[in-house]
């Protein structure tokens, strides 16, 4: 059948996407938790069935900056390159069973009417190619043997040695719509997507670039038909001109996680693994869903090293819930049991070999000493229940996710600055050997500039500090004194107010758990004592009561003024450069000085005042 997702590998696509209408709003989309909705005219509640068993609500879109999805796609595009029917209905192929597909690889839920699906994935970096190749990664509802399909995701298209990445959504049979984000999608971006029927035939579609903090969302009126499946898919798109599937781009692997859904049937938790095949050869396949508490799996490009026939479905544990109760169940990832019988009388007894895990890469290779960096650990011989060490600090077990035998994710714990080995220990007690590829560099914060380089000794100067590796809860010091009103505006920017300090130059430093920035000229701040450059008038009667205007610098509210050793009265700080004061009684020539917390002006000929006899 003719399908509608059209993507072009040409400059015209970039121009058209940039021209697409987009409405920016000032508040982020904060989508509420999925309700146990009731269809209009029906008395049967649709119970919520959640793959993630932490009982958390559907995640709100977290972008600090939000936008509305465009209502329609760009106009037909002219230029070179094929039209790509990016994600489309699954095509099983005549000679394949229903766990194989010509164009889909991933995990599929069937057996109910689905009203919501959520998932996160990391945009893969595809291998550049001179020929046209593509990969699309997305979540969706429908499309498994029916013409209705709602989906949103990202597509990577490579050709002619260049590669482009796009975010999009589609409601078949309408054309797909490119999403023009203010900052383009790039490899490594963490994407969060949600599709939900908020009321009958009204669908919320949202996608967020978590890494860059942008969210795009809109509600649509759409009849989804049976809405008979929920899916988390990697796909090779269709060329809409030739009606042939393009070559699947080498995406390496794509990890989907935080898989959630809502279904009419609370027992519809049986996942089907879909393997992408062409001419009988596997070109992409899904790994097992390795955790019922986080809902995660990876799609892999190419065929596994040792191809085995995948189980058609996974089977959940038998529910023991009374019929009047709706129960949230995990998706079982345990394949049906099998028995192998040896017919050889000389078969030796079975032996067990424990293989030592290996770590071949950690991504990213660095993070702040405060910890909190999610790290993908690649290697081999990983098993469920493995633990991860960052140097001498162990990652929290709850933050370690077994993806498959070659991949684990972990959240780096806090650690002092420096390079450490990331090691994996399996339950059998074997630990990976330390090696250069497993190094993770804990970085202390760095101050690269301060927006204001001087201020009064009384403090109160608002300073913006720019640098790197700033984290929430960071503290700022001016010399040895803690700053006030510290606001961490991001990993590279902090606002702070200088405390009172004696006159002189000090270093502005930032401290996070595990490390403090090194003092450098870029973070120098100079505390200035007040200065008096003139007084007017320069004389007055010995009885005092002369109103004198004092001009200078670094005056602050609460400053005091002295004529010689005597305090002036009626002192008014007009501005940082001007003070009015009334002279006390006195004799001879005296110096007029201004004092603020931390310092007093230095006497000079410019501050002299002469008392005249009557």
pLDDT digits (tens, 9 = 90+) for 196-235: 988 888 888 888 888 988 888 888 888 877 788 889 999 9
Q: Is the pLDDT of residue 124 over 50?
A: yes
Mean pLDDT of the region 591-613: 92
Q: Is the pLDDT of residue 543 over 80?
A: yes
Q: Is the pLDDT of residue 244 over 60?
A: yes
Q: Is the pLDDT of residue 39 over 70?
A: no
Mean pLDDT of the region 132-144: 89
Average pLDDT, the chain: 75
Percent of the chain residues past pLDDT 90, beyond the cut = 43
Q: What's the pLDDT band for 20 if we cut at 50, 70, 90?
A: very low
Predicted local confidence at residue 93, as pLDDT: 36
Residue 271's H or E segment, with its range, is strand 271-278
What φ, ψ does residue 114 adopt, rounded to 5°?
A: -100, 140
Mean pLDDT of the region 74-85: 29
Q: What's the pLDDT band for 180 if we cut at 50, 70, 90?
A: low
Distance separating alpha carbons of residues 11 and 77, to the nearest angstrom: 10
Predicted local confidence at residue 183, as pLDDT: 76
Tell me, rounded to whole angstroms, the distance of Cα 346 from its chain centroid.
57
Predicted local confidence at residue 249, as pLDDT: 94
What φ, ψ does residue 521 adopt, rounded to 5°?
A: -60, -25
pLDDT per position as a tens digit, 168-178: 888 888 777 77
Predicted local confidence at residue 241, as pLDDT: 59
Tell me, rounded to whole angstroms, the distance of Cα 536 from its chain centroid.
60
Check residue 18 and give left, alpha or beta (phi > 0: left; psi -120 to 50: alpha). Answer: alpha
Higher pLDDT, 415 or 341: 415
Mean pLDDT of the region 320-335: 32
Q: Is the pLDDT of residue 343 over 90?
A: no
Distance separating alpha carbons of residues 556 and 500, to the nearest angstrom: 12
Predicted local confidence at residue 181, as pLDDT: 67
Predicted local confidence at residue 139, as pLDDT: 94
Q: What's the pLDDT band for 242 if we cut at 50, 70, 90?
A: low
- Cβ contact 586:544 at 8 Å: yes
Predicted local confidence at residue 108, as pLDDT: 84
Mean pLDDT of the region 274-281: 87
Q: What three-state secondary structure class fits 507?
A: strand
Q: What's the pLDDT band for 484 if we cut at 50, 70, 90?
A: very high
Relative to beta strand 454-456, strand 524-528 is parallel
Q: What's the pLDDT band for 267 if we cut at 50, 70, 90?
A: low
Q: What's the pLDDT band for 379 if we cut at 50, 70, 90?
A: very high
Predicted local confidence at residue 354, as pLDDT: 55
Higher pLDDT, 605 or 98: 605
Higher pLDDT, 36 or 269: 269
Strands lying side by side in the sheet with 84-85 = 84-85, 238-239, 244-245
Give 193's strand partners.
119, 207
* Residue-range domains of the chain with CATH: 11-32+59-75+96-301 (2.60.120.700), 358-443 (2.60.40.10), 446-527 (2.60.40.10), 531-612 (2.60.40.10)
Higher pLDDT, 237 or 284: 284
pTM of the predicted protein model: 0.42
Q: Is the pLDDT of residue 240 over 80?
A: no
Q: What's the pLDDT band for 446 if we cut at 50, 70, 90?
A: very high
Exposure letters 325-363 (e unless 16+ CB within 10 A, then b) = eeeebbbbbeeeeeeeeeeeeeeeeeeeeeeebbbeebe
Q: What's the pLDDT band for 573 if we cut at 50, 70, 90?
A: very high
* Cα–Cα nearest to 171, from 5, 313, 289, 292: 5
Predicted local confidence at residue 14, as pLDDT: 28
Q: Is the pLDDT of residue 318 over 50?
A: no
Predicted local confidence at residue 362, as pLDDT: 95
Distance separating alpha carbons of residues 141 and 261, to the nearest angstrom: 10
Predicted local confidence at residue 403, as pLDDT: 83
Q: Is the pLDDT of residue 417 over 80?
A: yes
- Cβ contact 256:120 at 8 Å: yes
Higher pLDDT, 609 or 280: 609
Predicted local confidence at residue 166, as pLDDT: 82
Distance separating alpha carbons of residues 96 and 105, to the nearest angstrom: 14
Q: Is the pLDDT of residue 143 over 90?
A: no
Higher pLDDT, 369 or 321: 369
Q: Is the pLDDT of residue 602 over 50?
A: yes
- Cβ contact 381:334 at 8 Å: no
* Cα–Cα nearest to 294, from 533, 497, 50: 50
Predicted local confidence at residue 580, as pLDDT: 96
Predicted local confidence at residue 428, as pLDDT: 80
Mean pLDDT of the region 131-157: 88
Percent of the chain residues past pLDDT 70, beyond the cut = 73
DSSP state of 12: H
Predicted local confidence at residue 153, as pLDDT: 92
Mean pLDDT of the region 285-296: 75
């Amino acid at each position: 059948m003719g399908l509608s997702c059209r993507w072009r590998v040409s400059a015209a696509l970039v121009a058209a996407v940039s021209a697409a209408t987009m409405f920016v709003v000032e508040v982020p989309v904060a989508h509420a938790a999925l309700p146990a909705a009731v269809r209009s005219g029906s008395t049967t509640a649709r119970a919520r069935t959640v793959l993630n068993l932490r009982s958390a609500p559907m995640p709100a879109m977290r972008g600090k900056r939000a936008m509305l999805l465009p209502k329609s796609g760009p106009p037909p595009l002219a230029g070179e390159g094929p039209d790509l029917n990016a994600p489309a209905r699954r095509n099983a192929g005549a000679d394949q069973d229903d766990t194989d597909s010509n164009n889909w690889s991933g995990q599929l839920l069937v057996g109910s009417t689905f009203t919501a699906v959520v998932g996160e994935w990391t945009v893969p970096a595809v291998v550049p190619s001179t020929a046209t190749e593509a990969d699309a990664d997305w979540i969706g509802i429908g499309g498994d043997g029916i013409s209705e399909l709602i989906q949103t995701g990202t597509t990577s298209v490579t050709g002619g040695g260049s590669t482009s990445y796009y975010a999009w959504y589609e409601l078949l049979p309408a054309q797909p719509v490119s999403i023009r984000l203010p900052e383009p999608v790039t490899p490594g971006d963490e994407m969060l997507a949600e599709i939900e029927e908020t009321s009958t035939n009204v669908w919320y579609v949202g996608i967020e670039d978590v890494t860059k903090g942008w969210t795009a969302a809109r509600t649509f009126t759409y009849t989804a038909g049976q809405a008979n499946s929920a899916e988390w898919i990697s796909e090779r798109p269709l060329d809409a001109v030739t009606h042939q599937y393009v070559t699947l781009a080498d995406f390496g692997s794509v990890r989907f996680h935080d898989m959630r859904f809502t279904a009419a049937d609370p027992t519809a938790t049986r996942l089907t693994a879909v393997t992408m095949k062409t001419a009988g050869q596997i070109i992409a396949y899904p790994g097992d869903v390795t955790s019922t508490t986080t809902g995660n799996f990876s799609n892999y490009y190419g065929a596994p090293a040792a191809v085995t026939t995948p189980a058609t479905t996974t089977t959940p544990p038998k529910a023991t819930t009374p019929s009047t109760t709706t129960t949230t169940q995990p998706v079982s990832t345990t394949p049906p049991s099998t028995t192998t019988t040896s017919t050889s009388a000389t078969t030796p007894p079975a032996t067990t070999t424990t293989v030592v895990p290996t770590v071949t890469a950690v991504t990213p290779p660095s993070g702040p000493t405060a910890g909190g960096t999610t790290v993908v650990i690649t290697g081999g011989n990983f098993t469920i229940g493995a633990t991860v060490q960052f140097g001498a600090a162990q990652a929290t077990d709850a933050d370690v996710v077994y993806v498959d035998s070659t991949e684990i994710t972990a959240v780096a714990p806090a650690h002092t600055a420096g390079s450490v080995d990331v090691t994996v220990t399996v339950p059998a007690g074997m630990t990976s050997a330390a090696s250069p590829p497993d190094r993770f560099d804990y970085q202390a914060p760095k101050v690269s500039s301060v927006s204001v380089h001087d201020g009064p000794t009384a403090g109160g100067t608002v300073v913006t500090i720019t640098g790197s590796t700033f984290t929430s809860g960071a503290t700022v010091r001016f010399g040895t004194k803690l700053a006030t009103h510290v606001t961490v505006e991001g990993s590279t920017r902090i606002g702070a107010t200088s405390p009172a300090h004696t006159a002189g130059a000090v270093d502005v430093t930032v401290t996070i758990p595990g490390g403090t920035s090194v003092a450098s000229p870029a973070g120098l701040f100079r505390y200035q004592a007040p200065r008096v450059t003139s007084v007017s008038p320069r004389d007055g009667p010995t009885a005092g009561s002369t109103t004198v205007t004092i001009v200078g610098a670094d005056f602050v509210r609460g400053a005091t003024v002295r004529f010689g050793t005597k305090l002036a009265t009626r002192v008014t700080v007009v501005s940082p450069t001007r003070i009015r004061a009334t002279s006390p009684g006195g004799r001879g020539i005296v110096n007029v000085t201004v004092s603020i917390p931390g310092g007093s002006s230095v006497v000079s000929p410019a501050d002299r005042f002469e008392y005249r006899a009557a």
